[in-house]
Amino acid sequence: IQTLSGPVRIERLSDSDSGIIELKLDRPEAKNAIGKEMLRGLQNAIETIGNDSSANVVVVSSSVPKVFCAGADLKERKLMSASEVQQFVNSLRSTFSSLEERKLMSASEVQQFVNSLRSTFSSLEALSVPTVAVIEGAALGGGLEMALSCDLRVCGEESTFSLPETGLAIIPGAGGTQRLPRIVGRSAAKELIFTGRRISGKEAVSMGLVNYCVPGGEAHHKALEIARDINQKGPLAIRMAKQAINKGLEVDMPSALDAEEECYEQLLDTQDRLEGLAAFAEKRKPSCAAL
Ligand code: CO8
């Protein structure tokens, strides 16, 4: 796999773990806040992983201590009214001979940025293989929305979670209002979104927001344990299971059962299935090479 650098890196583990891909957020100076460069990095990483047929599971984590992701870059996307922009540009004109320092986004650029953020998280969610988010520290705003786009979440005890957008007079618009209630239920999601309250890892696990809450510093280890487990299973079966669950949750029950049947049928003629059955009959582990 191509190893991407910059604020988003991807790496493949080796030997028997070679189906596991690590996607790491690495923008320490801004606590992994998602600005334009970070967003491009995420898009490239997701596309690269999506094109890699030997990827079986993705672990999404942060290289920056005590933070998963501080959300959208609030400095880059600061919204100004038209007259404020005019005032700002005028003041820059008098201060600098060029306008290169004007890095802030206009309202329409913010709109574009949010649309890309939304579609990037949707492509993360749509990866055919399972994704596990590792949260050690803060997962806030867009950072939490990114974690919600993963299939599983594991956190350290000192982690904090919040969707603080209403405090900024916006809503969690990169999937938060839709994915959070589907994970924790509508009542808990409404309370968290209306108040922006920060919750701890322990509370997050009690409401089903994360799958596991482990002692601080051990979340990555736990996520790898889960990833290894998944990596040992029939890779096509895992993809079909994800597809069946995701498709089924979007439609009514009869259509959901049809979706499940379609996915099941795709597995009937595979070498993987025959090897799984043979291994059971011969009382041995299925051969990973065949799987
Ligand atoms: N954007 C830009 N810079 C940030 C951000 C951010 N979101 N968060 C932190 N930083 C910067 C700080 O400004 C600081 O920079 P500098 O050193 O230049 O002063 C640097 O990172 C370090 O930050 P702290 O000193 O605050 O570090 P701490 O370890 O004390 O705290 C926290 C880390 C807890 C992450 C804290 O920085 C924090 O609370 N940050 C704000 C988080 C926040 O409110 N995020 C929500 C953003 S809103 C959002 O994501 C909406 C997305 C959906 C869009 C849909 C719209 C329709």
pLDDT of residue 87: 57
C-alpha 163 – ligand 1 centre gap (Å)? 12
Which of 33, 45, 70, 72 is flagged as catalytic?
Answer: 72
Quote the pTM value.
0.88
The mean pLDDT value for 91-110 works out to 52
pLDDT of residue 95: 38
278 given a catalytic annotation: no
Which of 73-77, 148-152, 201-205 is predicted with the least confidence, judged by mean pLDDT? 73-77
Which residues 6+ apart lie within 8 Å of 65 measured at CB? 136, 137
Rounded Cα–Cα distance for residues 279 and 288 (Å): 11
Q: Domain 235-281 carries which CATH code?
A: 1.10.12.10
Q: Is 142 in the pocket of ligand 1 (CB under 6 A)?
A: yes
pLDDT of residue 150: 98
Which of 102-106, 114-118, 206-210, 217-221 is predicted with the least confidence, judged by mean pLDDT? 102-106
pLDDT higher than threshold 60 for residue 92: no
| Yes or no: domain 8-80+105-231 corresponds to CATH 3.50.30.30 | no
pLDDT higher than threshold 90 for residue 5: no
Which of 31-40, 59-68, 251-260, 282-291 is predicted with the least confidence, judged by mean pLDDT? 282-291
Note the pLDDT tens digit of each residue in 120-171. Answer: 999 999 999 999 999 999 999 999 999 999 999 999 999 999 999 999 888 9
DSSP string of the chain, one letter each residue: -PPP-TTEEEEE--GGGTTEEEEEE--GGGTT-B-HHHHHHHHHHHHHHHT-TT--EEEEEESSTTEEE--B-TTTT----HHHHHHHHHHHHHH-SSSTT--PPPHHHHHHHHHHHHHHHHHHHH-SS-EEEEE-SEEETHHHHHHHTSSEEEEETT-EEE--GGGGTS--TTTHHHHHHHHH-HHHHHHHHHH---EEHHHHHHTTSSSEEESTT-HHHHHHHHHHHHHTS-HHHHHHHHHHHHHHHTS-HHHHHHHHHHHHHHHHT-HHHHHHHHHHHTTSPPPTTT-
Indicate the domain borders of the chain: 8-80+105-231, 235-281
- Between 35 and 197, residue with greater pLDDT: 197
Q: Which of 29, 31, 193 has most ligand 1 atoms within 8 Å of CB, for mutation?
A: 31
Residue nearest to atom 34 of ligand 1 (CA): 138
169 given a catalytic annotation: no
pLDDT higher than threshold 90 for residue 17: yes
Residue nearest to atom 33 of ligand 1 (CA): 31
Token pair of 36, please?
């334009």
72 given a catalytic annotation: yes
Note the pLDDT tens digit of each residue in 250-275. Answer: 999 999 999 999 999 999 888 888 88
Closest CA to 145 of 234, 69, 196, 65: 69
pLDDT of residue 76: 79
Which atom belonging to ligand 1 lies closest to the Cα atom of 30?
Answer: 21
Note the pLDDT tens digit of each residue in 210-223. Answer: 999 999 999 999 99
C-alpha 153 – ligand 1 centre gap (Å)? 21
